[in-house]
Chain A
């Protein structure tokens, strides 16, 4: 019989070994500010057959958000619902622990799959953010085409991503295994503007 191991069961961010707080690129200017988001709670909700109205009611009741039926994200406090396809949403909580209370008992109305560890998430802002993102995002991010609250499922640098806009900042979710590749693209694309990374 072996003793229970005395190692710390600590979480390791998708960004560990990939990106860390600091600055890079052009000196004397900060065109882009990247925040490495860590600890978001993310779950995929897919409506069960016939469960749509009940799920919407439950979500209204629990988090005060009407599930968007078009590519939008709606937020209430630390929680948000992002459209992720027909009858499908991403429930996003600022704190991972806030996820379970929302999802409790929803299983009859929707397939609930926790994906909190599966995404490497970033928030990207700053005066040059659109110029930097234009080097990989194949969509028009101008406010007239991609306004506050817009969501897109698209590909950047051959990587499937979810992107949404809140205010002037964009949140980008990339598959965890490809964090290094998405960072390689992002750092190459933001360097000319001067980039500050917040951990």
Chain B
């Protein structure tokens, strides 16, 4: 059994029946369930837990909560290692491994602590002033050096093995914080019958009731707490989520929260996420987030052993861990004297009570006598020292006489700041309340009310009453009838006195922002150099910009600046907060959507068939599409693709085209609608025929192309490219609903309903004859080029047959309901076996369309007009259509504008590259000489060389001439011959075969 020398033998909320073993910086320790890493370390007498960011000063815990600036550690190891975790909120578990940060080579002996000796060098603005020149040094030298010296924890550097998830919750009343105010609010709203969600960042409910020895209604507060929690848990309309931080308040009553589902376990249990990011939508919210205690700025106030008084009570009362054996209490508020009482009760010696007030409080004198502590009234602690552990504080009286007091713990309190962060997330500024010398919530997000300490009310009886009242009001606002608010007595409290922001004149650095190492001298420097606005102060000194976001430092910093500039605190500025309240792991925000779940993946209805055929797939937008179908013995993809192309052109091939967008256009005005969205004519298209169409955006550039078939008198099927399916549907809906609502027209996407295969090659009809039911005549006469008809396959399965071609061969596309997609592909494969049918993929399809000069992705790039693509003859002059006027703009019809041409290397052995730019043969490869670029390339097995399509200035005139295709990125410089973009069968005889 490892002893815990600073653990009290009884008391507190730790379960001594179980021992949890953990490691810190390689040493073994023990703690108990109910501990945080911080409380367990303190129970083991470990007080040096980190080194500071800039000066590498030794640091111990300042607090016991999420505001902690010093005690940030790396938790866990390997892929689960997480840096910058607050040990004060990390729940202890068996086997926990933690490591201090920002020290080298070890925590006790840190070589970089010389930065502290070189103090003046590192004062505010140091980086800005020092690393200004020469500018080129910044990226290569200064920044890497600074980062190495100043970094905090190390990221794991490996993929996080855990699962995270997102979830959505809705309620009438969201209660943020389960201290006395929050519990009272939740009880009132819950009893009224409202749907209530209570979020508590801690793993235990109760807030300060866990830390302070208080009484409610004549009983120990713990008993009231137990009853309140039991009642809430019994209400079916109340949900309590522990370990859940509400980190942001957003528009419309929406809150972001992160639930640390399994952070308190070595690894998440099976099927459990590590963390869950909640989006909570609440009709009303009650903020009961409590308050954060304020330190005093004095020399050596960062020495390990200097701790906030309220946190000392938390360690003593809640965790039964004594942060020190010989204590001094230095406080400007009466309530902090309870710290001395509790320390003494736990067996510590309280050496001195230091009270800056000139008049001694009679109760305090009595307490001092009772616990045998020296009482120093009208005095301050002017310095703390001891290096790695506090050993002495200097007490200075009003006359300036100083006295050293030995101690290993200094409990400090300078009053409390309401935790009002969420109230200002929608840009509401808090207001200064001189009665408590603190900012309090002012304008609130809609639907929010603030109860208890978060609103600046610190007396327990008031907190309970206000919580109960606001909880009831929130429920009433949601239409529930609330019982009368409950009034509960609490033990009496002494009102607090005014703050003391800093004690000057001590020897050593006095810290304002512990985590970013900002001292009082830095703030003085900032004031001297004119950075006096709070926004400048922050950026100049980095005050409040660390991971703790200045929870303990913003107000002291502001107070010091006010003092420097002779203004009041509210005149100097206000602090405002943005989400998140505490850091949120990116993984929690991503949830399930990482890796292959980053976005949906779409599989075609023939996917399994393609897989059976050995396809190599490629991501194409959201789709996985078959790229090519390698066979044994093929050396590379090019060999495979060449085989596929030759097989199609020499026989027959089949290819999945299910991914094309398909839109049903129905209604009496369907033809009129097509006339208006396409550049070409549609009213002449008879039933049973398909036509190629091009549509423009309003700005005159080509949006998409595809075939549209007239299936019935007033029923058309419009197809889009795979990439533009969604955008075209949106465009058409916009056109119908906004531009021409008077058209009798209905649009619906049927893309998912149909599986579609292209069947291409001179023997395609022969193959289809084996699949289409015998009753359907598909001869050239019955089914000529561009015919589109309903047929059946497989003995009655409805199908659509289109005689259209992308490859330039005799070709068809055949569609069946998606459930039959696999059967169709299999039937084509089986029926085609005697014909040597060859499945082909995207690559072969691309080769064939380039051989035919058909525009596709590389050419339909959003910057080309129909004219650029050689389609100007399609542009009707007899009707209006979307984009017509803008397509006629001068620059878009200028004769020198690049136009689609074909390109072949002069030396047939040379490879072409898409993206290469064209220049004249003798010209320099400069932008000034740029003539356009290569949009698509392919190796044509039919021509035996690489071919390309490109957009070339004066392209029509250059046919037969030569230019260079220059590709500086890949050191390519190839002389190419300009030719017609139709490389193969320009007469189109194959098409009609």
Residues of A whose CB lies within 8 Å of any CB of B are: 1-14, 16-17, 25-26, 44, 46, 48-49, 110-111, 113-119, 134-140, 142, 144-145, 157-159, 175-182, 184-185, 188-189, 191-192
Chain B 230-258 near chain A by CB (<8 Å), digits 1 or 0? 00000000000000000000000000000
Cross-chain contact of B831 among A5, A14, A26, A138 (Cβ < 8 A)? A5
Across-interface contacts of A3 in B (CB, < 8 A): 770, 831
- In whole angstroms, how far apart are the Cα atoms of A11 and B823 in the complex? 7
Specify the chain A residue showing the minimal Cβ separation from B828.
A5
Interface flag for B774 (CB, 8 Å): yes
A117 to B819, CA, bound (A): 6
* Docked CA distance A25–B795 (Å): 43
Q: Known A48-B746, A118-B752, A157-B593; judge A12-B822 contact (CB<8 A).
A: yes
How many A-B pairs fall under 8 Å by CB? 164
Task: Across the A-B interface, give the 10 residue pairs with the lowest CB-CB distance, nearest first.
Answer: A9-B794, A118-B752, A2-B770, A140-B170, A111-B746, A117-B818, A177-B602, A5-B831, A191-B271, A118-B753
* Most chain A Cβ neighbours within 10 Å, of B599, B603, B822: B603
Cα–Cα, bound, A176→B578 (Å): 42
Contacts of B622 in A (CB 8 A): 178
B128 at the interface (CB under 8 A from A): no
Known: A2-B770, A111-B667. A176 touches B818 (CB 8 A): yes
> Could you tell me the distance between the alpha carbons of A1 and B834 in the complex, rounded to whole angstroms?
10
Query: Which residues of chain A have C-beta atoms less than 8 A from B744's C-beta?
Result: 48-49
Q: Is the CB of B770 within 8 A of A5?
A: yes
A176 to B820: give the CA distance in the assembly, Å: 13
Task: Tell me which of B55-63, B101-109, B160-168 binds A.
Answer: B160-168
In the bound complex, residues from chain B placing their C-beta under 8 Å from that of A189 are: 165, 592
Q: How far is the CA of A12 from the CA of B612 in the complex (A)?
A: 15
Q: Which residues of chain B are within 8 angstroms of A139 by Cβ–Cβ distance? A: 168
Number of interface residues of B (CB under 8 A): 65
A177–B827 touching, CB < 8 Å: no
Contacts of A144 in B (CB 8 A): 195
Contact A134 B169 (CB under 8 A): yes
Q: Which of chain B's residues have a CB closer than 8 A to the CB of A44?
A: 748
Inter-chain contacts of A135 with B (CB < 8 A): 165-168, 592
Partner of B592, one of A26, A110, A185: A185
A32 to B547, CA, bound (A): 40
Given contacts A2-B769, A157-B600, A191-B271, contact A138 B168 (CB under 8 A): yes
A-B contact pairs, 7 of them (CB 8 A): A2-B769, A6-B830, A9-B795, A11-B820, A117-B817, A144-B195, A191-B271
Knowing A1-B766, A26-B270, A142-B170, the reply to whether A9 touches B667 (Cβ < 8 A) is no
In the complex the two chains form, is A158's CB within 8 Å of B599's CB? yes
B597 at the interface (CB under 8 A from A): yes
- Partner of B750 from A4, A10, A25, A113 at Cβ < 8 Å: A113
A11 to B667, CA, bound (A): 31
Complex CA gap A180/B604 in Å reads: 11
Contact A157 B592 (CB under 8 A): yes
Residues of chain B with a CB closer than 8 A to A140's CB: 170, 281
Whether A118 touches B600, Cβ cut-off 8 Å, given contacts A2-B834, A134-B167, A142-B195, is no
Known: A4-B831, A5-B830, A177-B604. A12 touches B271 (CB 8 A): no
Within the assembled complex, what's the spacing in Å between the Cα atoms of A181 and B623? Answer: 12
Residues in A with CB closer than 8 Å to B822 are 12
* A188-B165 in contact (CB<8A): yes
| Chain B 662-697 interface residues, beta-carbon cutoff 8 Å to A | 664, 666-668
Pairwise interchain contact B608-A17, C-beta atoms closer than 8 A = yes
Distance in angstroms between the alpha carbons of A116 and B816 in the assembled complex: 12
* Alpha-carbon separation in the docked complex, A118 to B602 (Å): 12
Taking the nearest CB of chain A, how far is it from the CB of B741, in angstroms? 10
Report the bound CA distance from A134 to B168 in whole Å. 5
| Residue B527 CB within 8 A of the other chain | no
CB distance from B838 to the nearest CB of A (A): 15
* Contact call A192/B597, Cβ cutoff below 8 A: no
Query: How far in angstroms is the closest Cβ of chain B from A38?
Result: 9
Q: A191 to chain B: which residues have CB within 8 Å?
A: 271
Q: A25-B271, A140-B170, A145-B170 are in contact. Are A9 and B748 (CB under 8 A)?
A: no
Asked if B876 is at the interface of the complex by the 8 Å CB criterion, the answer is: no
* B486 CB-CB contact with A under 8 Å: no
Bound together, the chains give a CA A114 to CA B748 distance in angstroms of 10
Contact partner of B752 among A110, A157, A158, A176, CB < 8 A? A176
Given contacts A177-B604, A188-B165, contact A9 B834 (CB under 8 A): no
Say yes or no: A9 contacts B827, CB within 8 Å: yes
Q: Are B774 and A114 in contact (CB under 8 A)?
A: no
The 8 A CB mask of B811-836 against A (1 = contact, 0 = none) is: 00000011111110011101110110
Please name all residues of chain A whose beta carbon is closer than 8 Å to the beta carbon of B831 when the two chains form the complex: 2-5
B601 on interface, CB distance cutoff 8 Å: yes
Choose from B664, B771, B774 the contact partner of A113 (Cβ within 8 Å): B664
Q: Mark B764-801, 1 if CB is under 8 A from A, else 0.
A: 00110111001000000000000000000111010000
Of B593, B602, B766, B828, chain A has the most CB atoms within 10 Å of the CB of B602
| Min CB–CB distance A62 → chain B (angstroms) | 20
Residue pair B750, A115 in contact (C-beta under 8 Å): yes
Nearest residue, chain A, Cβ from B742: A49
Tell whether A188 pairs with B163 under 8 Å between CB atoms, given A1-B766, A48-B667.
yes
Q: How far is the CA of A41 from the CA of B664 in the complex (A)?
A: 18
Whether the pair B600, A13 counts as a contact (CB closer than 8 A) is no
